[in-house]
Structures are given as structure tokens and as C-alpha cells.
Amino acid sequence: MLSYRHAFHAGNHADVLKHTLLLELLDYYGRKDKPWWFIDTHAGAGCYALEGGQASTTAEFVGGIGRLWERSDLAAPLASYVGAVRQFNPHGGLLFYPGSPALAMTCARAQDRLRLFELHPADFDALQETFSGEAERVQVRKADGFDALRGLLPPPSRRAVVLIDPPYEVKQDYRRVVDTLRDAMKRFPGGTYAVWYPLLNRPEARQLPARLAELGADSWLDVRLVVKKPARDGFGMFGSGMFVINPPWVLPERLEACLPQLVRLLGEDEDAGFDLEHRIE
């Protein structure tokens, strides 16, 4: 199915969590001179206009990045995240929101590489346009990222952050996430894999973190941000999570420094909160 368009959700609370964590991962990888690869299995359009476009229809960014935009008291990981978004808004107003590939590019050095996959025709065209001047460092392919990932592992650099961020618009996405990650860990056990998932009142959504933990990684981290009480009718996302295989050892401490603030800023009712579990060897 190709009905999902991330533009309607750009900059929401889930993006805040996902992109704060992504920048933490890439910053850690950048501490060594050796090159890294960033592989995005569901890259989207690259960058999103927040005024007059699809994002303005739902305006979910108002309850996400919008609540952090003017603050000067943010914890270091959140300040770094907002600083990266500001690079796409040089005149001060919040007019554009960068997707995962564009944010990754803010961390990329001359030796680093991006490999991006997107299947939606319109988003693929937009993604190509976003990176039209970066052919040496960035490759964009119109392909199913679940299937295409295996052909890139292990990468030549032997250092990579892989983001698996499907829309979960069909139940099969949950199964494919687990199957894809299992295969990836066999091909490239030393990679860092970050899986975003929604918090929904659906069995497949509730079971996904446990199924990822059962893959048997020696080191992992699972963080969940709840922004509101689940709806009585069972519909709608009330938060999101990130499951990371082979996370940096500094990541739990970095997240603990900002998650309480995220709850205060993004929480919508008394049920807002976070969970952070990890085992890092």
C-alpha cells in the first residue's frame, strides 16, 4: 500500500523522539575518523513544508517540534536536535521540517555515505530533488527498503546506522520489521539498528518490542514516550518508541537527561510518561 504520506505527521511528537535519538547515534559514530553509512529503509520525501502544504492540514508539528522551538532551557540532546532543525529555517521561523535523511546529512562528513530507499512515487521524486547535488555521498533508490537492505550489508565501512521506520499501515509491516532485522543481524552483526514503532492499542503493535528483544542481541535499548492516555475507542497513536540494537554505551545517560523534559513539554494529559530499558555489553 502506498497511501501513507509522512508529510501529514512531520515534526510531531514521534519525530521529536525519533530524530533526537537518530542524531545522538550519528554524533557518536562521528567521534571517530572512520566513515559511517546511514541507511534509511523508508526515507520519505526528505524535507517538508509546514505552512500551506500537507503538514498544515493536521498541524501535528505544533504539538511536537513547535513546543521546543522557542525554548532556551533544553537538555543537551534536545538542544542539538532543535539546532539541526534550525539549519533548515535560517530566518528563524519554523517553516520547514527535515526528515531523517536531511537530518542525517547535517552530521555527515566528506567520507560518510547515505543510502536511501523510498517506494512512494511522489515522495521518491521529492527525495531525489532534495539530494540532487549530493550524488557522490548520497544514493536514492525507488525500492522496498525491507528487501533492499540485505544487498547493502555489510557496508564497506563496517560502520553503519540503519533506520527502519515503516508506516505500519498494514499488519505485515510488523512481521517484516522482525524478519528484516533478524536477517540484517546475521549479515552485519556489528551494525546499529534503530527501529521506530507506534504505540497503539493493537496486538501486533503491543507485541513488537518483545519480539525485537527475542532476536537475542547482546546489547539493546528500548525507549517509549507516551504523550496521552489511549483513546477509549482504541484508535489513534498515543506515543511511540525506538528499539535500538547495538546502541552506544552513552545513550541511556543522554536519554535520561532529556526524557523527563520531553514528557513535560509534549505530554497532553496526566498519563504522559516514558519508559527506558536497556542492556549494553
Q: Which residues are catalytic?
A: 165
Residue 136 — φ and ψ, nearest 5°?
-70, -35
Closest to 15 in 3D by CA, of 55, 71, 75? 55
Beta bridge partners of 113: 37
- The full DSSP string for 46-84 is SEEESSSSHHHHH-GGGGTGGGTTT-S---HHHHHHHHH
Q: How far is CA 266 from CA 52, 62, 238, 274, in A?
A: 24, 10, 11, 11
Closest to 138 in 3D by CA, of 42, 41, 45, 38? 38
